[in-house]
Structure 1
Amino acid sequence: MWGTSSEDGRALRREAERVVNEVAQELRTLDEGTSWFSALSPVGRQAVLQEAAGYAMQAHITAADGREGVVRSGVKPTANPSVMICMDPPRYGFAGLPADEHVTAFRVLVSAFSVADTRRRQTHCKGTCGHSWHNMPPW
């Protein structure tokens, strides 16, 4: 699935979790996260898109979150990833998009995740959160 050993796959998943959550918490800019993502192999990019889609599902992204995320992402609203995230319910098949759309998919997905995750941190986890990914130190 990851195109690497299981140990490498776990390392990539941990790195993806860190980078995506740092972008969501504004500890890293979207452009910095996109640069990290762009440097991955095509298989690595697909794996990160699958992982980030899982985070997005857990954050319960709404179509409104998707629309706000598209604006934040700087991606055209008519691009495939933008249309997918704005559907009700959102579609998460970003890893299945053509490779030339992976960077825009990452930008849209992480931006929409950031909107939804911020909302959840302010409502469900406010003051009582024990999730390690909601309490990340600056890098």
Structure 2
Amino acid sequence: MTDGPFRRETEQVVNEIAQGLRTLDAGVSWFSGLAPTRMREVLQQVAGYAMQAHITAEDGRVGVARSGVKPTANPSVMICMDPPRYGFADLPTAEHVKAFRVLVSVFAVADTRRRDTYCKGACRHAWHNLPTPTEQP
């Protein structure tokens, strides 16, 4: 598998979670099946998505609460810093699933805010216009 298709798969999974088309637990199941090297790549990609969504400290707190990860866990503390710290791929492998849960949950909060404000009614971002599960081939 090349980086291009894998990157698109990651983008698809993360945006489906953010838009409620895939559960966080289903996303975690997908993530958990990846090799450690791919997990680190996904964490870097999702951190990039979070940065592009311009997450706020409030997004961090709300996302952590939704993630099911303790607020005192390393990924939770990192994302709630002002500004957030993004070295999730450098965390020990044992913390990668927690980091994924936190990052995707915080991204979902920030991306929903942006879809409801900045992109409302005139959005041409392909990732904001995913087909519902019944529309997929």
Q: Which residue of 2 aligns with 1:134?
A: 128
Q: Which residue of 1 aligns with 2:119?
A: 125
Q: Which residue of 1 aligns with 2:70?
A: 76
Structure 2 residue 63 is matched with structure 1 residue 63: no
SS at match of 1:117: helix
Matches within 5 A, 1:1-139: 8-139=2-133
TM-score (structure 1 length as normaliser): 0.94
Structure 2 residues not aligned, in runs of 5+: none
Q: Distance in 1 between the 2:40 and 2:132 partners? A: 26
Aligned partner of 1:57: which letter?
M
Q: Distance in 2 between the 1:8 and 1:32 partners? A: 23
Cα-to-partner distance string for 1:65-114 (whole Å, 9 max, x where unaligned): 00000000000000000000000111111111110000000000000000
Structure 1 residues not aligned, in runs of 5+: 1-6
CA RMSD in angstroms, aligned pairs only:
0.8
Q: Please list every run of at least 4 consecutive aligned residues from structure 1 whose deviation after the TM superposition is greater than 2 angstroms.
A: none
Percent identical among aligned pairs is: 71
